[in-house]
Each structure stands twice: as C-alpha cells, then as structure tokens.
Structure 1
Amino acid sequence: MRELGRRIVAQFVVDRRVLALAFARMADGVGNSFLIIVIPLYVASDVVGGATFGLEEAMIIGIILSLFGFLNSSVQPFTGRLSDRLGRRKPFILVGLGGLAATNVAYVFAESYLSLVVIRGLQGVSVAFIVPASIALVNELATTRDRGGNMGVYNTFRLIGFGAGPVAAGAVVNLGPYELPGGATISGFEAAFYVAAITAAISYAMVTVLISDPDSTEANAGADLSIAVRDRNGPHLLDPIFTLGLASLFMAAAIALFATIQPQVNARLEQGSTWFGIQFAAFIVAQIVLQTPIGRACDRYGRRPFIVGGMLLLIPATLVQGFVSSSETMFLARLIQGIAGAMVFAPSLALAGDLAGEGESGSKLSVLTMAFGFGIAIGPFASGALIGYGFEVPFVFGTVLAAFGSILVYTQIEETLETAAPVPIVGGD
C-alpha cells in the first residue's frame, strides 16, 4: 500500500513552477467554470433587463457563453506570438488573471443583457492571454524526457478546477442571500461573482510569488514565429503541428456535441437531469484520472502511439452515443470518450512542444489550444443544427470528424521521442 502511494505521489513530482502554475490554473478554473452555471441563471433572473434586439432569452444565453469561446480561441495565436516576440510569459498570465478578476466583479454591476455580452467577451480575451503563455511556460520548463508528464500534471489540476466549479456554483446561488458583518447582505448571484473574482485573485498572487520566466525564454525571443500549413522539411503534405491542431479541432467538436442536447438525450433514454449530469461528468473524470499517467507514459513509450490510439478509440465512442438505449451505456460511452481524449491531449501538446524551436512555444502550442477551443464552440452548434434530422445524426457527424482526424495523425505525424528509456523524475527548479 505504501509503495502504491509512493508511485501515485511520484506521478505529480515536477518542477515546482509547473506545479505552482497548475494550482493557479486550478483556482482560476473553479471561478471561470462557476460562470457556466451562474450566467444562464443570472440572465433568466429579474436582475438583468434591457434591450434584447429581438432575440429570445435562450439565444442571448447562447451568445454570451459562445462569445467567450470564440474570442478566446481567436485571440490566442496573437497573444502567443506576442509572448514569443517579447520573450516573456509571466506578464501575459498576470494580465489575463487581472482581467478575469476585474470582469468577475463587473458582473455585480451589470444590469443589461448587452453589458453581460461585453463583460463575457472581455473575459474571453483575458483567458486568451493566459492559455498560450501558460502552456508555453510549462513546455519551456520541461525537457523531451518529461514534457508529457508536465503537460499531464498541468492539465489534471486545471480540469479539477474546471470540474469543481459547476458543482459548487448552483449551491452558492441557491443558498443566498448572505448576511455580512455589519448587517449588509449580498445575493447568491453577487456571492458567486465574488467567489469567481477571489479565485482569480488567488491565482494572480500565486503566479506573482511562485512563477518566474526561464532565462532562455527572453534570450530566444524574436525567432521565426510563422505557422506552417505545409510540411516544409519533411515527407508529408501537412505540417505536423498544423495536423495536430486539426485533430484537436475534430476531437473537441466530437466531444462537445453532447453538451447542448440534454432534452433529446433525456427523452430518448427516459432519464432525468441527474443522469445527464453524471454522463456529462464522465468525460471530465476520465481526463482528471488519466492525463498525468498517460503524460508520463508518452515520455517513456512515445507520443504517436497514444495520439493515434486515442483518435481511433474516439470513433466508436462517439458513434455508439447515437444508438444507445440505456443511461448506463451512455455513461460508458462518455467515459471511453474521456479516455480517448486523455490519450490525445497531453501527448499532442508534448509532441508539439518537442517540435517547437527555442522561443516558439507560445506560437506553436497556441495552434492546438486555439483549435481545441474552436472545437468546443463548434460542437454544440453542430449538434443543435443536426439533431432535428434524427438523434443519431450529430454523433455520426462527430464520428466522421474523428475518423478524418485519425487518418491525419496516422499519415502526417512522426514520432519525436528517439528512445524509450526510463523517464527520470525531476523536482526542484
């Protein structure tokens, strides 16, 4: 038992700055995912009003939530490239976290639908400063022999925060109003926004105190930061990082199909919202459990086998969701989909990090994070548009995307890990 505990702890032994950054992202993930639950409730409440521009309430909620993803993904290549040019990561992370904290507080004073749209849009831009710089920093603090493990630890803690936020958000809103010292009271909504702001502030403090840029980052600033589409130096048609971006886009879209068709899923399976929540969470749970061990494994056995295997596993895991007839089977399909995602995500980041030259991490890795973000935004739109043609149609569409992504990574990606020697576990700075 003691040996098992030692092995589990060893999985999370990384550079202390990577661990600090992972905890910081976990904290801001809690606050940011809070809003996924709180904003629809806030829009539906009597607190917000104003012009709707002829749109239904549900459409306004969709615009507010989707705008975050589209702006976040669209701006990431620019912030990633700028951080490469300046040779700095930490200031970009702090700007983004500061923006998140300020906009979370701004929700308290928002009284119109338009103000919510503006605030959520600014939050998308703020997170676009955080993501490429964070991933680039993790990449630069790692080596080829431990990059997958570092990416896995970072993603694990980030997902823990993202998964915990929605669980707590509903309770915080429903238990309000709250009485403060001195007799003042705040509503459940205000409490939720303040919690989100506090988590962003905690992350800001952690990054300020515990994170520093490697000396090599600034020394290598200003490298060639172009993003290639064609494979300039190799035998393949497409650049491997661009290929990984396409695969990430297709994978994310296939996974996100499930998010917006809760009424149809519940009706088909004759289940309640509790079962849907469990099925939705199955993907995140699989990611949390497997990101770090798969990241460590890809440092030992190579990146490509996991990426190809994960994309292939995504095909049946997506297709079966369109034809299942029980809640338990849907849960199992979502769990397998989460396993597939874990097999692809950390090894893809590690492989792209292997290929990125000195001073290029922000630009190159932002291709993957941008593509994944667009996929998460596109998936719900696709399922909403296709579900009217039959319950299975959105999942068949996702299966086609997964199959195309599998072909791409199998034919266009080469292994970057030259040997499969045992992976040293390195701590400290």
Structure 2
Amino acid sequence: MERLWTRPFIQMTVAMLFLFTALYLLLPTMPLYIKQLGGSESQVGLAAGAFTLAAVVFRPIVGGLLDRYGRRPFMIWGLLVFALSMYAYDWIAGIAALLALRVLHGVSWAFSTTAVGTTITDIIPASRRGEGMGWFGMAMTGAMAIGPVLGIWLMNNHSSRVLFFAAAASTAIALLVAYATKIPFQPKAGAGRIALFEKSVLPVSAATFFLAVVYGGITAFVPLFSESIQVNPGTFFLVYALALTAIRPVAGKLADRKGAAYVIVPSLIVTGLALLTLSAAAGLVGIILAAVLYGIGFGSAQPALQAANLRLADPDKRGAATATYMTAFDLGIGLGSIVLGWVSQYAGYPFLFAISSISVVISLILFLLFVRRPLTASQPRHSAAG
C-alpha cells in the first residue's frame, strides 16, 4: 500500500488548519466589527457577499493558471496577501474601504485555497485518495471547532485589533509551513488556451453545488434556530464536528476500497434525514440527533465527492478540476444562504430545513444519473494507475 502520511501531506494539512482557523476567527466577529463601524444589516450581508463573490469569480482563473505555471507561486502569494488583508482590517475607517478590502480578501482566498487544495491532490496517492481527502478535510473541521469560539473570546475580552493580529498570525504560520513544503508538481507552460472549467467534472460539481446549498443554510440559520428553542447555538456544531471526526477516516477507506458511489449514495440519504430531523427538533435531543446524522452524512459525502471529482479529471487538469469543484461549493453556500434566508423570513426555520432536504434529493439524483456510471467506469483505470 502506498504511503499516505508523508511529510508534505502532513505539512499541507497543518497549513490548511491554520488558514481555515484564521478564516473562522473572522466568521462570527466580522458582523460585530461592521456594526462598530456604523454599518447596517444590509451592509453586513454585502460584506459577506463581496468576499464570496470575489472568490467565485477568480477560482476558475486560478485553476487554469495552476495547471499552466504550477501551484507554488499562487499558493505563496495568495497566503501572503490573505495574511496582509487580515491585518489591514485594523486600519479600516469606513464601510466603503472595508468592502474594497473584502473583495481583495476574497481574491486571495480563491488563490490560496485553490492552490493548497490542488497541491494536496498531487501529494495523496491515487489509491488512497478518499482516505487522504478525508483526513485533509479534518483540518477544516478542527478550524471550525477552534476559530469561532476563539474569535468571539478575543473580541469580547481584548479588542478587534488583537483579533485581526491573531488571524494574520495564524495565516502567517500557514504561509511558513507551505513555503517549507516540497511540492511534486512541475509547471507545464506552453501554448494553448487556459481552461476556466474542467468539463469532465461538471456533473459531480453540480451535485456538490446542491449539497453546498444545504451547508450554507446550516451554517447561517442553525445558530438562530437553536436560540429560538433555547439550545446553546454551539451544541450543534460541536456534536457535528465530533461525528464528522469519527466518520471521515472510515468513509475515506470505504471509498478507496469499494468506490466513491458506495459511500456517496447512503451519505446523501443520511444528510436528508438529518435535515428532516432538524426540522422536527424541539429541544436539545433533536438538535444532537440531527447534528450526529449531519456529521455522518455530510462528513462522508463531501470528501467522497471531492475524490470523485479528481478521479474523473484528467491528471494534467487537476487545478481546473479543483477550481470547478470549489467554485460550485462556494456558489452553493452563497446562494443557499440568500435563498434560504428568504424562506426562513416567510415560512420559519423548521420549514427551511425541511425544504432543504429537496436540495439533497436533487444532489442524489444528479449523482445517480450523471456521475455514478462514468465514475465506476474510471475505477479500474485509475486503480491501475495508482
């Protein structure tokens, strides 16, 4: 069996942990900071949208550049600008300047995460891709558990200046670790048009989009729903993180041995059940049960879909394939938050989560109709290559 836990794999996973920790430090605190600057509710939403939209627009461009010129320069420069953007928030004096900085921050996020995500696919052995992506994804889970709590604590007990310095420092650590990592990819500069999207992975990216719509709704509205039924908002995400931590290594190994479809189909079904459970929750027990199911379902489906995305892509177009997948995920989160926000305003949180299960059903149908067969056909070829 090919070795997974190499030094470059560990280094890139650590870099991702510190990068996402920096992001999650600002996720719950940025709205508070905008309020301090005198911003309105709509400007809070605009700031979040500016970051996401900038990332969505630039990801396809980054993917093609990665395949043409290599991963390293875009990863290093992306992380550097991301760190400087974090520190620059402390110098902002008005909403207009903050929105401009959010756009720059979103662009650097597109460069850094697409480069890091593509680099890890070069490092993980093809025969252990599902397992490797599962462990790599644990970095984001750990950041989700650490970042928001630490960010709120720094904001309440110190100041926004300390918060931004901590976020910049966390990104700087990611930069140093990434800089010290030996990356196997060699640039393939040459003539020809740079691909913005990888067509072979559009079906799996479409399935990912509808799964990400649900994730956008979960992250945006579970805290508000939890408060409305007198449950600590952090309970869902803590239990979700624990369930996800337990399931991902197991699901990754199953995806490698049995095929991604063996994991994705039941995982999407469990995700749908989690949303129905959440819609019926009336207290702590319902929230915990929904969090366990969502951790198992989403925690298994997301890395398996990412592994399927890479399996279907041409090895020389992994950058474009990764960018296509991440663009679909970002777009799903952004649009999901907006659309489901309208649903919650007019129909309430329980209906929001119930209707979200339809998005999971669409994801499942797309996978069964357009992804499973080509994915199964590619299995022997890629296994032999691995």
Q: TM-score, normalised by structure 1?
A: 0.81
Partner of 1:82: 65
- Asked if 1:73 corresponds to 2:53, the answer is no
Q: Distance in 2 between matches of 1:141 and 1:160?
A: 21
Where does the alignment leave 5 or more consecutive residues of structure 1 unmatched?
Answer: 1-9, 177-187, 230-238, 425-429
Counterparts in 2 of 1:38-57, with a 5 A limit?
38-45=29-36, 48-49=37-38, 57=40
Partner of 2:112: 130
Match of 2:328 among 368, 371, 377: 371
CA deviation after TM superposition for structure 1 residue 333, in Å = 0.9
Match of 2:367 among 392, 409, 427: 409
Q: TM-score, normalised by structure 2?
A: 0.90
CA-to-aligned-CA distance 1:394-420 (integer Å, 9 cap, x gap): 223311111111111112223243399
Q: Distance in 2 between matches of 1:113 and 1:123?
A: 15
Partner of 2:343: 386
CA deviation after TM superposition for structure 1 residue 347, in Å = 1.5
CA deviation after TM superposition for structure 1 residue 289, in Å = 3.3
Which moves more between the two structures, 252-261 or 309-318? 252-261
CA deviation after TM superposition for structure 1 residue 121, in Å = 1.7
Partner of 2:380: 418
Partner of 1:148: 130
- Asked if 1:112 corresponds to 2:94, the answer is yes
| Aligned 8 A contact 1:156 1:292 in 2 | no
CA deviation after TM superposition for structure 1 residue 97, in Å = 0.5
Which moves more between the two structures, 199-208 or 252-261? 252-261
Partner of 1:184: none
Which moves more between the two structures, 342-351 or 101-110? 342-351
| Aligned 8 A contact 1:32 1:165 in 2 | yes
- Asked if 1:30 corresponds to 2:30, the answer is no
Partner of 2:10: 19
Q: Give the length in aligned residue pairs.
A: 379
Runs of 4+ in structure 1 deviating by more than 4 angstroms, as ranges, are 219-224
- Asked if 1:346 corresponds to 2:303, the answer is yes
CA deviation after TM superposition for structure 1 residue 291, in Å = 2.5
Q: Distance in 1 between matches of 2:321 and 2:191?
A: 14
Q: Distance in 1 between matches of 2:133 and 2:164?
A: 30
Where does the alignment leave 5 or more consecutive residues of structure 2 unmatched?
Answer: none
> Percent identity among equivalent residues?
21
What SS does structure 2 have at the residue aligned with 1:407? helix
Q: Distance in 2 between matches of 1:420 and 1:198?
A: 40
Structure 1 residues 263 and 208: CA distance shift in structure 2, 3 A: closer
What SS does structure 2 have at the residue aligned with 1:212? coil
- Asked if 1:195 corresponds to 2:166, the answer is yes
Instruction: Specify the code of the residue in structure 1 equivalent to 2:351.
Output: V
Indicate the structure with greater helix content: 2
Structure 1 residues 284 and 61: CA distance shift in structure 2, 3 A: farther
- Structure number, greater radius of gyration: 1
Which moves more between the two structures, 134-143 or 298-307? 134-143
CA deviation after TM superposition for structure 1 residue 129, in Å = 0.4
Q: Distance in 2 between matches of 1:85 and 1:329?
A: 49
Q: Distance in 1 between matches of 2:142 and 2:47?
A: 24
